[in-house]
Structure 1
């Protein structure tokens, strides 16, 4: 929604304090590991914008917990794979040669929204080193979650998603649907399914020098994520409620991933 619509959507401003109250009512507790997918525009008119939301999320999990967000920079990828929009074939090598290298403190997110982009700017946040599919984390287990993000299988076992699973973390969908739920990708790797391996590429720094690196991954598909999410909500359940004006859903990430593994094997 635009700012006029955001004002009209609420009776009074949404604030850090009101957001914290809403998060507590939903079930977010101090000490939680919380992986957040979000839409700032869904929350109504927030006094202070994205920083107010980030402050509320940090206050909700406290320093004893860990806040995690996807900070993907998919603009730094192999241009032969681009489709929205594609680029002329003659541009491909030039893009590979000149793409600025991934730098955690500098490289912006793409398509993640204002809240993850804000999170990555906080000085006490740790961002993982994957040049295309990074995550950022703050709190007690931030280093454990993002400190060793492997290049291959970027959303699989070497990823922050698997570390959130290890910590028995939760997923918070804040005004977004399961199509944005990256934890379902972890289930794709764990499910016993035929998968096609693909070669990806990105620019990064190696020993302080810019290099174009290639890595292997599975071909991912989000097309059935909404159906999977609805099945999980129907058969397992989660907490849902309002945070600001947004529909919010809170689920155990291990229960979600384990369910998704079985669902993929039965339905994909």
Structure 2
């Protein structure tokens, strides 16, 4: 189904996503009413995050699907409050606020204009809740913006509109790597990690170019409310056909490597799991994997058949 999704129109994909979200919410509410979910309190959540090593002053990039953990007492607001309290005034909390569903090239060529104050993220409820908070800032990028809160939030998101590659040099993702941020997965696993593309953009010997041939010119609205023309590469959907989020064999191989290297920390929480990695350790492991012929793409992953 995911492979099929790569090739269906973005407009249809959005409708299907909305229908799927609606049915997931119905299913969640029904199971909640029947008492089939664990209930997670604030203290349990905080203990879990701290036990992974996340502390005051750290920077964190969060990927999440809270419903997979069960019932969180206080919901997304409790999660955001707990994370900001753990990190303190000297830390930084960051979440992806991506705007595309599927084919980024088709999305940009539809004529959409990104406005950081108006364009809603498609990366889940937590991102949308976070974006509404005071002093949360958002990077200017039409497909892969980042939202941030904390001591260094402005510097983390600044200049994204000057990055031709959304995950490359000068991007929020590269900056989070440089400060050794935590990569935190709440209710989701490693398939959701967007910084894989930072590794691709920064690695001099990555075996192929994952982007389309030429960057796309697109208008965006900057933080001053003015229109700006920028250029950005988008990933080639043909080269993404057998990536780890689609190919279970690749995903299992990558996770096994992460576990054996000791970079991936795991905690059970409610009905699901929370994972964490330090970004610089993760990058080192990715470099070692590449030297052994292993990438997140099945056709460039030693020992994996398409």
SS in 1 for 2:83: helix
Residues 1:126 and 2:137 aligned together: yes
Aligned to 1:257: 283
- 1:139 corresponds to 2:167: no
Note the residue ranges of structure 1 that are not aligned, 5 or more in a row.
Answer: 83-91
CA contact (8 A) 2:28 2:67 kept: yes
Aligned residue for 1:242, secondary structure, equals: strand
Picking from 149, 167, 184, the partner of 1:155 is 167
Structure 1 CA distance for aligned equivalents of residues 269 and 171 of structure 2? 28
From 215, 231, 248, the equivalent of 2:232 is 215
When the two structures are superposed, what TM-score results if normalisation uses the length of structure 1?
Answer: 0.82
Aligned-pair CA distance for 1:183: 1.6
Q: Does 227-236 or 70-79 show the bigger shift?
A: 70-79
Q: C-alpha offsets along residues 54-111 of structure 1, whole Å, 9 cap, x if unaligned?
A: 11111121121111111111169866369xxxxxxxxx6xx32xx3x2121221111x
TM-score normalised by the chain length of structure 2: 0.73
Which is bigger in relative contact order (C-alpha 8 A, separation at least 6)?
Answer: 1
Q: Secondary structure at the match of 2:40?
A: coil
Match of 1:8 among 36, 46, 51: 36
- Does the Cα contact within 8 Å between 1:76 and 1:131 map onto a contact in 2? no
Residue 205 of structure 1 pairs with residue 210 of structure 2 = no
Structure 1: distance between partners of 2:230 and 2:152: 29
Q: Indicate how the Cα distance of structure 1 residues 197 and 27 shifts in structure 2: closer, same or farther if over 3 A, else same.
A: closer
Residues 261 and 285 in structure 2, CA contact (< 8 A), matched pair in contact too: no
Residue 176 of structure 1 deviates from its aligned partner by 0.9
Q: Which residue of 1 aligns with 2:21?
A: none
Q: Distance in 2 between matches of 1:201 and 1:230?
A: 40
Q: Distance in 1 between matches of 2:102 and 2:275?
A: 31
Paired residue for 2:183, among 171, 174, 185? 171
Report the CA distance shift for 1:236/1:25 in structure 2 as closer, same or farther (over 3 A). closer
Structure 1 residue 236, shift from structure 2 partner: 3.1
C-alpha root-mean-square deviation of aligned residues, in Å? Answer: 2.7
Q: Please say which of residues 137-146 and 236-245 is displaced more in the overlay.
A: 236-245
Counterpart position of 1:195: 209
What is the number of equivalent residue pairs in this alignment? Answer: 251
